[in-house]
Amino acid sequence: MHHARHSFAALAATLTGRPETGRHGSRYTEDGEFELTGVVTDAAGKGPRGRVRVEAHGEIWTAEIGEGGGPGREMLAEGAEVTLTGRRSANAEEMAMQAATVEVNGRRYVLDPGLA
């Protein structure tokens, strides 16, 4: 059943020209590691998928972050400098990424061991 759902999502992505948005972050590129350093402008979300907005090089980026093993919300407060690594959005025009690690206050947190 899972395979059928994945196949349908891949077919829909092909027909519409839009990337899949499956549970494994398939809307993100599979090749290479992306790194982003900037200043937190906003952090939100609860549960397994939080989001943090980061200003870097005059652009606002949105990073999807997991909750497990990551820094607390107080460490991702507005004004905190962070370095995120992970996968960039497959849509080159979208300023978004799925973070595998975050470094804040000199400490590195692994958010997604499968990507780190």
pLDDT score of 17: 45
CA distances, 103 to each of 6, 85, 111, 112 (Å)? 33, 9, 10, 13
> Consecutive sets of 10 residues in the chain, 116 residues long: mean pLDDT of each?
39 42 57 90 72 94 78 82 94 91 91 76
Which residues does 54 contact at the CB level (< 8 Å), separation at least 6? 36, 38, 39, 40, 41, 60, 61, 63, 82, 84
What is the third-level CATH fold of 29-110? OB fold (Dihydrolipoamide Acetyltransferase, E2P) (2.40.50)
pLDDT score of 77: 87
